[in-house]
Amino acid sequence: MHQTETNEFRPTILSYVIDIPNLCSLAGLASTLAAIYFAILGNYPAAMIGMIWAVDFDWADGLIARTMDNRTGDDRIFGGQLDVLIDIVSYGVTPAILLMSYGNFETIYLPGAFLMLAASAIRLSYFSTFGLSQDSKYTGLALDNNNLIIVFIFMFETMLSNENFSIAFYLSCLILAALNVSQIKTPKFSGKTVNVQLLAVYTIFITSFYGWTFI
């Protein structure tokens, strides 16, 4: 009886969509879906644009949430859970699919893709358990850096042969996976307004760089 009464006062699932930070998170998920779609098709410039915008929306949702005074504890918990679930798709699944796609989905790329995905899941689970360290730093390379670095690496894709870039990209993905689960301490870049502004500049640059290929 008590459980039924409690449930009656719970907000509906979709009520959490009417929340600007959560809408921002979902916009990032839409960008991620676009990145996955174009990666599978082999349209890597379009995939890079989707990947960088995913980070942009991810950083923006946290910044917006911190400026809102009317969010309840449940709002913050729901938003945090939504953010974590989207992160593993944006920064784990997407790079893994990108790696396999660039390797023409050959079997040799499966281990690298799995390691990136596994490292993302392990790191997010660790962060959900322990949070930031006492000095407000992450343990291991934060997953959003995966996308920031990958879109930069792909700027040199045309400068190398397909075979050489495949090797370089594969190695880069393995290094990123190792850094994700390492014990290095990295600052929380997304927590400062100036860093979000710098990311916006980087996003415009990356979008312009890859968008030029469509002209």
3-state secondary structure of 138: strand
Each residue of 6-37: pLDDT tens digit? 556 788 888 888 888 899 999 999 999 999 99
Distance of alpha carbon 174 from alpha carbon 161, whole angstroms: 20
* DSSP per-residue codes, 59-120: HHHHHHHHT-SS--HHHHHHHHHHHHHHHHIIIIIHHHHHHHHHTTT-GGGHHHHHHHHHHH
Each residue of 99-130: pLDDT tens digit? 999 999 999 999 999 999 999 999 999 998 99
Element (H, E) at 187: strand 185-187
Mutual angle of helices 94-102 and 144-153, in 10-degree steps? 30
pLDDT at 170 over 90: yes
Number of domains forming the structure of the chain: 1
Residues 3, 8, 14, 20, Cα dihedral to 10°: -100
Each residue of 61-85: pLDDT tens digit? 888 887 777 777 788 889 889 999 9
Residue 190's φ and ψ, nearest 5 degrees, are -70, -10
Q: What domain range includes position 20?
A: 2-214
Whole-model pTM: value is 0.90
3-state secondary structure of 25: helix
pLDDT in the model for residue 187: 87
CATH number of the domain enclosing 85: 1.20.120
Distance of alpha carbon 114 from alpha carbon 108, whole angstroms: 11
